[in-house]
Amino acid sequence: MIRKAIFSLLLSLLAVSALSARNITLLEGEYKMTWGPECCIDPMKYAGLAAGDSILVSVKDLGNYPQCSVRDKQNGWKELTPALSYFLVKGDFFFAITDSIAKQMKHHSMMFSGSNFTITKIVLRTSRPADTRVGYDDLCDKNASWRTRQIYQLLRDVYGKKAISCSMAEVNWNYKEAGYVKAWTGKYPAMNGFDYIHLTYGWEPYKDITPVKEWWDMGGLVTICWHWRAPSTEAQWDAYQKDTVKDPPSYDGFYAPSGGSPSTTFSPKEAVKEGTWQHNFLMADLKKVADRLEILQDSGIVVLWRPFHEAAGNSGIYPDGKAWFWWGADGPEPCKQLWHIMYDYFQQRGLHNLIWVWNCQINDDDWYPGDNYVDIIGRDLYNYTATPKDSTDEQAKYNSASWSFEFMHTYYPHKMLTLSECGNSPMMTDMWAAGARWLYAMPWYHYQYQMGQKHQWAGSDWWQNWFSMDNVITMDEMKTLRAQYLREDPTTDIRTVSGVKKPMDENWYTLQGVRIAKPVFHGVYIHKGKAVIIP
């Protein structure tokens, strides 16, 4: 009774100092303490432990010389502070989270180990407000086109109920992998991924949108990433710009040094500074890719746009981890600036057919561009499991679908989550049963695959398993859904028109059908079959 009274007094004292504080139960039950990893607290349960918080521990069955140690689990155990390592337990206790502890503990598991006592409850006391957001954010682009808004609404409506099947182009601008899925299952996936990987080459194919338009016209959705190749030196870029031969020399690197091959030493830290040659290159390439995206927009194609993918690499998981691609080579701040520069430039260009997808690599929220720049959050997982393995290895959790999904949902409850790349995956039936209800899943391509081979990332058995489920959306169902969501032509309701560019060429008409040379006054006109608002 005395012990409980003391514990209640501690709570009261803490409440006085933080009237708006709330309690979050981290661990409840009877855990007889040992020196093993049996009693750990997962970071997703307190989602953003911060300086000023407190941990309160309720104990019982104090035996002979009860001892406790509170440590951080990240690639081995680390003590939080000397004061929390090997102390005598005299009853219920609490400790404050300092700024240094918060930084050390960020995203990691906390371990309470010891002997001769039992933990009955662990509570996090915090004055930070609870996340009370309901549903998912609206599009970050407030000028998004009517079609873009309708497709985004489609995604929000199916999220958590069904998963959209998705294949990836072999290298850049095709739907070959989707053809294999059709051969294995009798149906196409609902979405296909494309890549602007060859944008720097003289022969880059992206002005011809035929493969993408064919896919869109069949009823599918489109997602595009960009393995952005960058020069290592100004001389290399100058040579590329000045060469006027039919096949100009090109730069190949998109990996950061030691991240893979081909690599580049291109610096994002310099690229975000106006006046540098790196910034000049950045803006020149942004113009180039915007020109290509504009062709898709003019054809009415909505794009789930996934730039700067896997930016953090494994830097958030291992102390010595590094970014894999050049856009993450200088850390999170320049990478976020790159995202913002791209987003703002695309807004200036009038690109409003994009749904922005950011790639989370776990423990990398410092890299997050911000809610106002992101619509969907994706996770790339290869060689993983449906649920965490029975292992004390922290990495085993990161490499499981259910843990990743729950972790991401804890930190980003207001965003839809997707498996933006995957390979050697557990069956979708297992992932779904484990609670990993991704918006879509996209296995990577097998280069130069031949039917009858063992597929490198997702073969016939994987796709057949998924397509046997009631919760899968294939091309057939997506075609029907798209027809429903896009059934109202925006030309018939001018209230749905926004973000439309102001073209000034021939074939302008009034709403009454009278042809004019060009609009002279503000109002609504018909141009190429679309309603256009002239402000």
CA–CA distance, 391 with 394 (Å, rounded to integer): 8
The pLDDT value given to residue 504: 43
Contact 237, 251 (CB under 8 A): yes
- Find, among 395, 385, 380, the residue nearest to 427 by Cα: 385
Q: What is the mean pLDDT of residues 423-439?
A: 96
Q: Is 155 exposed, middle or buried (0-12, 13-18, 19+ CB in 10 A)?
A: buried
Chain segment 435-490, per-residue pLDDT in tens: 999 999 999 999 999 999 999 999 999 999 999 999 999 999 999 999 999 986 55
Quick one: which H or E segment has residue 10? helix 2-17
Model confidence at 258, pLDDT cuts 50, 70, 90, reads: confident
The pLDDT value given to residue 2: 46
Q: What is the pTM of this model?
A: 0.86
CA–CA distance, 150 with 487 (Å, rounded to integer): 10
pLDDT exceeds 80 at position 519: no
Phi/psi for 269 (5° steps) reads -60, -35
Angle at 195 between CA 194 and CA 200, to 5 degrees: 145
pLDDT exceeds 50 at position 494: no
Q: What is the mean pLDDT of residues 39-58?
A: 90
The pLDDT value given to residue 387: 92
Helix, strand or coil for residue 398?
helix
The pLDDT value given to residue 502: 39
The pLDDT value given to residue 429: 95
pLDDT exceeds 80 at position 505: no
Model confidence at 321, pLDDT cuts 50, 70, 90, reads: confident
Contact 423, 383 (CB under 8 A): yes
**Cα 414 from chain centre:** 12
Domains in the chain, CATH or no CATH each: 2-126 (2.60.120), 146-487 (3.20.20.80), 491-534 (no CATH)
Chain segment 224-250, per-residue pLDDT in tens: 999 999 999 999 999 888 876 666 677
Chain segment 140-175, per-residue pLDDT in tens: 999 999 999 999 999 999 999 999 999 999 999 999
Chain segment 361-390, per-residue pLDDT in tens: 888 999 999 999 999 999 999 999 999 876
pLDDT exceeds 80 at position 427: yes
Compute the mean pLDDT over every residue in the chain, rounded to the nearest whole number. 88
CA–CA distance, 517 with 525 (Å, rounded to integer): 12
Q: What is the mean pLDDT of residues 77-97?
A: 93
pLDDT exceeds 60 at position 18: no
Structure tokens at 48: 């953003």
The pLDDT value given to residue 39: 87
Model confidence at 528, pLDDT cuts 50, 70, 90, reads: confident
Out of 20-24, 90-94, 254-258, 294-298, pick the least confident: 20-24
Q: Is 247 exposed, middle or buried (0-12, 13-18, 19+ CB in 10 A)?
A: exposed
Task: Work out whether strand 508-510 and strand 118-126 pair parallel, antiparallel, or are unpaired.
Answer: unpaired
Q: Is the C-alpha dihedral spanning 108, 113, 117, 118 positive or negative?
A: positive
According to DSSP H, which parts of 106-209 are helical?
A: 146-158, 176-185
The pLDDT value given to residue 12: 52
Model confidence at 222, pLDDT cuts 50, 70, 90, reads: very high
Share of the chain above pLDDT 70, in %: 87
The pLDDT value given to residue 500: 40
- Find, among 208, 203, 53, the residue nearest to 122 by Cα: 53
Structure tokens at 3: 């012990």
Q: Give the type of residue at 162.
A: K
The pLDDT value given to residue 469: 95
Output 474 or 1, whichever has higher pLDDT: 474
Torsion, Cα 185 187 193 197, to 10 degrees, reads 70
CA–CA distance, 197 with 254 (Å, rounded to integer): 9
CA–CA distance, 492 with 498 (Å, rounded to integer): 14
Output 113 or 524, whichever has higher pLDDT: 113
CB-side neighbour CA atoms (13 Å) of 283: 13
Task: Work out whether strand 54-60 and strand 118-126 pair parallel, antiparallel, or are unpaired.
Answer: antiparallel
Model confidence at 17, pLDDT cuts 50, 70, 90, reads: very low
The pLDDT value given to residue 521: 63
- Find, among 317, 314, 333, the residue nearest to 325 by Cα: 314
According to DSSP H, which parts of 195-276 are helical?
A: 210-218, 234-242, 268-271
Quick one: which H or E segment has residue 411? helix 401-411
Contact 466, 433 (CB under 8 A): no
